[in-house]
């Protein structure tokens, strides 16, 4: 193999590892939102908000490296698709990071009051998204389009849970309008999490593009 080719492969490998690192930080923030909400833990919420800066910085580094690689190595075919896939993937990971931060900020609004109800569906949503993210990152590393496609199917569960959360919270608010201030942040959180699920599905689509060159819309 030529030295130039080795450089390109080493660059891609390094970027993949950075994406994994970014992915695990995003998953950490996401998972911790549940712990922070359940424990009304303001310190933890603030930590999540701060952790987003770390995620953003990683995204910036990967993006710079990808752009430099495109400019200097002029990758073609699967190499090009992988680089485009990396750039798109970090955009979605970065958005999931932002959404976790937004969940934490909503959490801060209700941290001084008792929870309206025990959290069941929201933790379930986070658990599913986290599992999907794990699958998405695995599929990304292994270039496994089947796994990516299967992962995307789970997005329906998240949408179902969001509907359920909304129905339930609306019932609370209709029965007793005084619950509105405590219910609204939870309602907003369920919307944020649904969006996080959509971004995870996008990552699955990027993996499929990297492997096959096909653009599929699996956010149905």
Partner 1 sequence: MTSIAAKMRTESVSLFYGKNQALKQVTLSIPRNQITAIIGPSGCGKSSFLRLFNRMNDLIPQTKVEGQVYLEEQPIYNARIDVVELRKKVGMVFQKPNPFPMSVFDNVAYGPRVHGIKDRVHLEEIVERCLKQAALWDEVKDKLKTSALSLSGGQQQRLCIARVLAVEPEVILLDEPCSALDPISTMRIEDLMQELKKGYTLIIVTHNMQQAARASDFTAFLLAGELIEFGPTKELFTAPRDSRTEGYITGRWG
Instruction: Kindly state the tokens that stand for 184.
Output: 């609204």
Is position 5 an interface residue for partner 1 (rule: CB under 8 A)? yes
Distance of closest approach, residue 48 Cβ to partner 1, in angstroms: 38
Q: Which is nearer to partner 1, 85 or 107 (CB)?
A: 85
1 binds partner 1 (CB under 8 A): yes
CA dist list (Å): 119 to 31, 34, 113, 168, 174 = 14, 9, 14, 12, 19
Q: Give the footprint of partner 1 on residues 71-110 (CB under 8 A).
A: 74-81
Residue of 175, 220, 178, 186 whose CA lies nearest to 201: 220
Return the H-helix or E-strand segment holding 29: helix 3-39
| Nearest in space to 96 (alpha carbons), one of 171, 20, 182, 203 | 203
Cβ closest to partner 1, residue 73 vs residue 164:
73
Contact segment (CB under 8 A) with partner 1 among 69-77, 96-104, 183-191, 196-204 equals: 69-77
Stretch that binds partner 1, among 4-12, 45-53, 91-99, 111-119 (CB under 8 A): 4-12
In three-state secondary structure terms, 144 is coil
Query: Which chain residues interact with partner 1 by CB under 8 A?
Result: 1-2, 4-5, 8, 74-81, 212-214
């Amino acid at each position: 193999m030529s030295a130039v080719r080795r450089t390109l492969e080493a660059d891609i490998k390094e970027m993949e590892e950075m994406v994994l690192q970014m992915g695990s930080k995003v998953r950490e923030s996401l998972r911790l939102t549940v712990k922070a909400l359940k424990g009304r833990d303001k310190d933890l919420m603030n930590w999540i908000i701060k952790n987003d800066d770390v995620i953003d910085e990683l995204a910036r580094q990967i993006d710079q490296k990808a752009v430099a690689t495109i400019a200097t190595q002029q990758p073609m075919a699967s190499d090009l698709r992988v680089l485009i896939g990396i750039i798109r993937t970090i955009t979605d990971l970065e958005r999931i990071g932002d959404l976790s931060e937004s969940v934490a900020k909503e959490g801060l609004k209700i941290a001084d009051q008792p929870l309206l109800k025990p959290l069941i569906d929201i933790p379930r949503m986070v658990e599913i998204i986290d599992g999907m993210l794990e699958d998405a990152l695995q599929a990304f590393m292994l270039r496994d389009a089947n796994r990516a496609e299967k992962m995307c199917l789970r997005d329906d569960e998240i949408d179902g849970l969001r509907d359920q959360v909304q129905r339930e919270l609306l019932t609370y608010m209709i029965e007793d309008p005084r619950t509105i201030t405590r219910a609204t942040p939870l309602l907003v959180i369920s919307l944020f999490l649904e969006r996080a699920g959509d971004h995870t599905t996008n990552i699955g689509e990027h993996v499929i593009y990297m492997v096959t060159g096909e653009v599929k819309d699996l956010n149905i």
